[in-house]
Amino acid sequence: MNLKEYSELLDKFFQGTTSAEDNRILRDMPESDMKNLFDEYSRIKWSEKSGKIPYNVRTRMKSGLLRKLRTSGPATEKPVRRFIPVLRWTAAAACICAAAFSGYTIATTSQSAQTFEVIADKGQKSTVMLPDGTYVTLNSSSRISYSTDYNTKERTVSLSGEAYFDVARNEELPFTVKTGKMDVTALGTKFNVKAYEEEGEITATLIEGSIRTDIGEKSEVLKPNQYLILDKETGKTTKITADNPDHLVPWRNNEILFAGENLAEIALVLERMYNIDVFFTDSTARNYSYTGLIKNNSLHNILELISSTSPVKYSIRGNIIAFSTDRAATD
């Protein structure tokens, strides 16, 4: 297979329009041939956008593609759209192959600005380098999106979930994170934004540098080790200076911090972190609150902390956790 044929076939693959025979050809290609063709394919696609693709990014992309092709099983008559979401973990998904990655909501026929999307699924984390050199680490069940105009006309990303940003400095193009109800703007800094749709608050936390939060016409400037909480229902904001800066963004160190949340709120966090489903067999268990830092945030450690510090017991069946009140302990 020559490069032109391979490029056309791989473009179809990322668009989800390959036939069963196309899938078989890709899946059965010798790995050495696939390596050479993919390297050249990615080089061409990248050069159309931003110059040279980093070697480590290209390697991760190629490994992910090869793994999915090798494990996809017998070819079927259905197109391979099911492959595309599992490639989203690749760091390069945010910035490579703009014409090919329709799985990232990229329209290949339009000449207007298009959109890239990077996703960290439940139970996963993902780190991506944006075209300007900004690093973004996504917490579980989070996503960011940005336009192909990024780093040319503006530096704006939209966030659903939680992410840590290490922003490349560019005073001419401020970096802005949009969450729907709060915008967070920085020139060059490190900060965290938590904006899960199912939670009632949005929190911006500054680690280094300076950021500005904009909520409607109201603006707040944060200093290092400060965080601002927005109540999405009332619009009220609270700015707090952390007593212990080391615990401002615990999830990045595989830690989890309970600061008085009840078990119903904690259950949402556990579902995202460990890709599980949580149920309550009685409503009493939902209302117990917990405070403390767990340095080894294994699910077992968290469940043991919950059961050992309150009259709540748990049971596990597959990926389902059920909480109930240990009534015997309250008698």
Whole-number pLDDT of residue 66: 54
47, exposed or middle or buried, with CB in 10 Å at 0-12, 13-18, 19+? exposed
How many Cα neighbours within 13 Å face the side chain of 305?
19
User: What is the CATH architecture of 112-244?
Assistant: Sandwich (2.60)
Regions of the chain where pLDDT drops below 70: 13-17, 42-43, 45-113, 296, 326-331
Q: CATH topology for 254-330?
A: Phage tail protein beta-alpha-beta fold (3.55.50)
Picking from 222, 133, 225, 235, the residue whose alpha carbon sits closest to that of residue 175 is 133
CA atoms within a 13 Å half-sphere pointing along the CA-CB vector of 88: 25
State residue 16's pLDDT score.
Answer: 57
pLDDT of residue 19: 79
Break the chain into its structural domains and give their ranges.
Answer: 1-106, 112-244, 254-330
- Helix-strand-coil split of the chain, %, nearest 5: 30, 30, 35
Tokens of 219: 């603006």
What confidence score (pLDDT) does residue 219 get? Answer: 93
Burial of 33 (0-12, 13-18, 19+ CB in 10 A): exposed
pLDDT at 144: 94
- Residue 128 near residue 93 (C-beta atoms within 8 A): yes
What stretches of the chain show up as alpha helix (H) in DSSP? 3-15, 20-28, 31-47, 55-70, 263-274, 299-308, 327-330
Question: What are the backbone angles phi and psi of residue 112, rounded to the nearest 5°?
Answer: -80, 175
Side chain identity, residue 323: F
pLDDT score for 179: 95
Residue 261: in which H helix or E strand, if any?
Answer: strand 256-262
Give the number of residues written for the chain.
Answer: 331
Q: Distances in Å between the alpha carbon of 291 and those of 229, 256, 273?
A: 19, 10, 18
Listed residue (161, 223, 214) closest to 191, CA to CA? 223
Q: What is the pLDDT of residue 313?
A: 93
For residue 212, count other CB atoms closer than 10 A to its CB.
Answer: 16
CA dist., res. 182 & res. 217, Å (int): 11
pLDDT at position 293 is 83
Q: What is the per-residue pLDDT for 271? A: 92
